[in-house]
Amino acid sequence: MQTIRRFLADESGATAIEYGLIAAGIALAIIAVVNNLGSALKLKFGSISSSLK
């Protein structure tokens, strides 16, 4: 019975899951920013390229 109480009171796994969720959220934010920045740069370089022709 004592073993079950210790297992239910143990929160170390929950902490690891929280850190994983935080890391996943940060990764998604970085991917979104880089994707938007890439699209903006593609348009800008396309504009410059057509201006030089």
Render 22-41 in DSSP notation, one character per residue.
HHHHHHHHHHHHHHHHHHHH
Alpha-carbon distance of 32 to 30, in angstroms, equals 5
Statement: residue 30 has pLDDT above 90: yes
Question: What pLDDT does residue 34 have?
Answer: 95
Statement: residue 25 has pLDDT above 90: yes
Q: Where are the domains of the chain?
A: 1-52
Statement: residue 11 has pLDDT above 80: no
Statement: residue 14 has pLDDT above 80: no
11 to 17, 19, 25: CA distances (angstroms): 10, 13, 21
Model confidence over 33-52: pLDDT tens digits? 999 999 999 999 999 999 99
